[in-house]
Amino acid sequence: MDKIILKNDQEMKMRVENFEQYAKFPSTDFLMLCELIDNSISSYLDSYINPGKSIKGFKMELIIDRTISGNPNLTITDNSNGMDEFTLEKALILGNSVDTVKTTELNVHGVGLKQSSFFLGRKIEIKTIPRGSKVTYETEINLKELSKSEDQIIRYSIYRTAGKILNHENENIINGTQIKISFLRARRLSGSLDVLIQNLGWKYGQYIDMGAEIKIKWKNNEKDSGFIKVLSCLPKAENISRWIESNQKKAVFIKNSKTTDFLKKIKSDIENISKKENNEMIKSFYDKIIKESDLIWDFNEEIIDGIRIIGQIGILADPRSLDVKQTYVKYNGFSLYQAGRAVACGPNDKTNETKTYNPNKLIQDDISGGTNHKRRWFGWFDLDPLFKDKEKYLQLDTNKRNISWNSNIAQTNFDAAIRKMASKLDSCLMAITNAQNIFCKVSSSAKKEQIQDLVKTSANPNNLIMETNRLGSLSLDDMEETLYTVKIEGENLNFKINLKNMNNLPKEDDFITYESENSEDLDLSVILNLNHDLWKPIVTDEINSASLFSFHKICITFCLSQYIFDYLNNEFNKEKELPPRFRDMKIFRNKTYTDIACVIANRISITNGK
């Protein structure tokens, strides 16, 4: 079949400058990309074609291609239900009827195909095959070319062809849509691929768990990531059995305590709690530990006018027991869901690329915020009933990243229900957190991994500064003890470090340890076990002074960071607040002891001598 023109040079009565304004819409690359993904999922779930609304079988591929100079582009291919001529035209025209294009609750809100596409780039090409049809419909809008026309009016044509849509394995897509957005605007989709994958895994995690498949590929002239499958990135609930098993491999119980000792303490603490705070939730907590179940509970509460909200509230797993990166700060708060995908809260990232956040101050501050054990509360809630009711107690913004309440009563009741459920288990959460901190410490193998990371970090001379005396070639045992003064740049913090090289320690002992000499001044000794196999390459070969001091620098940084973390953790657990000398640190993150230890490691200035 030749290309047949169905609509030729149709005018939108809009100019190029109007479409260029889409790029100034207050949004992010991530949110506009999600708008396009929402459209694909919505099409797949169209109840007229998919009555069961099953997401299983949905497939999507995203390719970010920066191999063409001056024309970075994004291609999105799905196997959804495609669009016929009428639906495609409606998707292109501004002010289209929601009744003709909006097929599910996923895209009742939002900005649509045009705005999201031209927010990202300046040219859009669409190929689409409706389900049950052997015909392909194609169209394109190129702002770069249209800007050269005399009147700069937006025009488009729609063609009927026999063209194919292929996936990355060159397989025919029987029905679906392929959208190519070219001439990506400056800095669009140029952020971290890992961050993008993680946040897609959070936002669409429930769909992925139900069978949806999303793959993504990023390439330029130097690197091709290949297709990476987006995995569900929903946070994990604590499981005591899994925690014990993992930490038996990665760490050691203090004083070689047995697993039964840990369980005995947990059970004893919870039994004592239940005598004071007798409620069904504490009994449930105890039962879950006995049965080795995940520490997560169903939430099903009436909020207003007979409307019930379902979800789950749980205790976030200790990251020491997981093979994936997970921190209490990263998953701070509860995720709110509308139409099956997360619209608020979720994993944070350093660059704040997604700009998703927890809109509920009560939850953020009183339940999961701060630096205490309560930050381990996490969960999710399906807010659809509050959107669907004719009263519409909630509104979702056009970026689908935040909610606003139309009813103060509904908001207050929702907050109170979460607070009530979490508060019933708060003492149990404190008990389990304290027990984990008491019984678990980092093993030598874990320390080895940490120091290897520091070796990589210290390759950047801007991270660490050391003033040294010029010496000739020497070996580690030539210097039994060396005194160093450590200052933290930009802070009024000083430490004295006495580095000791020890030849009389057992070979099987840790390769590096520290001892606190003066808890008030935070001075310590760093001890290197020269009999450990790790030091053999250094001890057996002569090294110059610069190499030796660089090596000492890494050891000091590692031990001081670990010591600061342990010290602050201990002091906070006793006093419930940071020690005074650390409260005024000039850092732009949460002042947890983890953040403080990291900041100190990156601002160290070490001087040989007093």
The confidence score (pLDDT) of residue 16 equals 92
Residue of higher predicted confidence among 264 and 146: 146
Q: Which residues, listed in sequence order, are joined to residue 342 by a DSSP beta bridge?
A: 337
**Number of domains present in the structure of the chain:** 3
Residue type, 26: P
- Is 234 inside any structural domain? no
The confidence score (pLDDT) of residue 607 equals 77
Q: Which stretches of 32-93 are assigned E, i.e. beta strand?
A: 59-66, 73-78
Instruction: Please give the DSSP secondary-structure letter assigned to residue 364.
Output: I
Please tell me whether residues 105 and 71 are part of one structural domain. Answer: yes
The confidence score (pLDDT) of residue 102 equals 47
Please tell me whether residues 183 and 298 are part of one structural domain. Answer: no
Please tell me whether residues 577 and 505 are part of one structural domain. Answer: yes
Domain that holds residue 252: 240-440
- Is 309 inside any structural domain? yes
Note the pLDDT tens digit of each residue in 482-538.
Answer: 777 888 776 777 778 888 777 777 777 777 887 775 555 557 788 887 777 777 666
Please tell me whether residues 429 and 451 are part of one structural domain. Answer: no
The confidence score (pLDDT) of residue 122 equals 95
Please tell me whether residues 10 and 141 are part of one structural domain. Answer: yes
Please tell me whether residues 492 and 530 are part of one structural domain. Answer: yes
Asked whether the beta carbons of 599 and 587 are under 8 A apart, the reply is yes
Lowest mean pLDDT across 162-176, 452-466, 509-523? 452-466
- Is 555 inside any structural domain? yes
Residue matched to tokens 């947890």: 592
CA distance 419 to 362: 9
Average pLDDT score, the chain: 77
The confidence score (pLDDT) of residue 298 equals 95
Residue 33 has pLDDT above 90, yes or no: yes
- Which residue among 229, 248, 277 closes a domain? 229
Note the pLDDT tens digit of each residue in 1-16.
Answer: 678 998 888 888 789 9
- Is 16 inside any structural domain? yes
Q: Which residues, listed in sequence order, are joined to residue 438 by a DSSP beta bridge?
A: none
Length of the chain, in residues: 610
Please tell me whether residues 383 and 531 are part of one structural domain. Answer: no
* Strands 153-161 and 4-15, bridge-based pairing: antiparallel
Q: Residue range 432-446: average pLDDT? A: 67
CA distance 361 to 403: 12
Note the pLDDT tens digit of each residue in 39-89.
Answer: 999 999 885 556 667 899 999 999 999 999 899 999 999 999 999 999 998
The confidence score (pLDDT) of residue 109 equals 58
**Three-state DSSP class for 210?**
coil
Give the pLDDT band of residue 335 (cuts 50, 70, 90). Answer: confident
Please tell me whether residues 32 and 130 are part of one structural domain. Answer: yes
CATH classification at residue 80: 3.30.565.10
- Which residue among 420, 440, 460 closes a domain? 440
Residue of higher predicted confidence among 442 and 423: 423
Note the pLDDT tens digit of each residue in 85-120.
Answer: 999 988 887 544 444 444 456 765 556 888 899 999
Residue matched to tokens 């300046």: 122
pTM exceeds 0.85: no
Q: Residue range 470-481: average pLDDT? A: 46
The confidence score (pLDDT) of residue 455 equals 41
Give the pLDDT band of residue 459 (cuts 50, 70, 90). Answer: very low
CA distance 556 to 484: 9
Class of residue 1 by CB neighbours under 10 A (exposed 0-12, middle 13-18, buried 19+): exposed
- Which residue among 440, 471, 489 closes a domain? 440
Q: With the C-alpha atoms ordered 22, 26, 30, 36, is the resulting torsion angle positive or negative? A: negative
Residue of higher predicted confidence among 460 and 136: 136
Asked whether the beta carbons of 375 and 328 are under 8 A apart, the reply is yes
Please tell me whether residues 100 and 184 are part of one structural domain. Answer: yes
* Strands 123-129 and 228-229, bridge-based pairing: unpaired
Which of 269-278, 340-349, 407-416 reaches the highest mean pLDDT?
407-416
CA distance 65 to 336: 33
Please tell me whether residues 467 and 384 are part of one structural domain. Answer: no
Please tell me whether residues 178 and 42 are part of one structural domain. Answer: yes
Q: Residue range 125-135: average pLDDT? A: 92
* Strands 494-502 and 481-488, bridge-based pairing: antiparallel
The confidence score (pLDDT) of residue 297 equals 95
- Percent of the chain topping pLDDT 90: 24
Note the pLDDT tens digit of each residue in 190-201.
Answer: 877 887 888 898
Please tell me whether residues 330 and 400 are part of one structural domain. Answer: yes
Residue 396 has pLDDT above 90, yes or no: no
Estimate to the nearest angstrom the gap between the alpha carbon of 459 and the chain centroid: 27
Q: Residue range 341-354: average pLDDT? A: 59
Note the pLDDT tens digit of each residue in 545-589.
Answer: 666 777 777 888 878 877 777 777 776 666 566 676 676 676 655
